[in-house]
Structure 1
Amino acid sequence: MSGYSVCVYCASSDGVAQENITLAEELGSAIAARGWTLVSGGGKRSMMGAVARAAREGGARTVGVIPRSMVEREWADHDSDELLITDTMRERKGLMDAHADAFITLPGGLGTLEELFETWSARVLDLHTKPVVLLDPDGHYTGMLHWLKTLVDGGFARPGALDRLTVTRDVTAALDACKG
């Protein structure tokens, strides 16, 4: 894969608010405008589909990584420039990590949080040096960020752990943080 690539974690479930779909589209368009490649979870629904469609419409290359069980449910984004199919979710995350130079997390649910925490934990443990960015324009993660500070205050996380996560409120700042 040539050029710079950013992996985006976000909701893939239906029913999210339109402003989150719009945010995903804005991010996909901005990734394309920078000439970057988008790496995503390979789904065509909700925010995940929106970010990939917008990136492709802007001329970006898209790489989707999806477990076989989700392909069989017809959730796969077959329009991806490259669609990698794995046997498990663990393999999926490994391939997404391997194809990405940076990570951006948009609003999402349990799966999105799991991806964020795994990538961020690996960064805190110096298992990689890739930027980990949380794009939270509307305060979706405010409660979580407060709770994370209490982990540091209580000695459950090192003080520098929060420094390994860049929190932004707009797309431009998030993309700028990806290039550190």
Structure 2
Amino acid sequence: MCPLKPAPHPASRVGRQRADRAPAAHGTASHTSRLGLAGTVRPVTAARRHVHDTLRCWGLTGAVLDDALLVASELVANAEQHAAGGGGPLEMRLTFRTGHVIIAVSDAESRRPVCHPADGGAESGRGLAIVRALAQALGCRVGAGRKTVWARLTVPDSGPSTGGAPTHEQLCEGSGRR
């Protein structure tokens, strides 16, 4: 049985988290889990632990869990690196709806991500390209001094995938630097 409020991992004691019970095998149930990461010593580690525990609680394993761990890592690392001042609100939200999981990371930066081609020898700069390759859809919402970057992953055995990830230009439009 999945606990309604899993005990926080020591790395995420500052964050709040809530995980709902596993969804029914049928219907259009929606389940959400949030993790506050502001003030967390290792936000990427805390986010990965939360994704792992929550998705397993919801009965999601295998490739979708592996992809979700990588997507969450990239989105949180990007938000941590580029958020204004580095100490503002940082939150991750997981949503499970029949057929897909959405990973959304919000930070205090209001500028949209801007993609730059990674230099062949660079150690960074490929995060959003990795997320785009794994996600069915990827987007960004900006408003009220906050930005939320989200990715939608298809859950296997839930029907055919529709749509697709946006192009590089669609994702990276907007102002600001990332």
More helix by share: 1
TM-score by length of 2: 0.26
More strand by share: 2
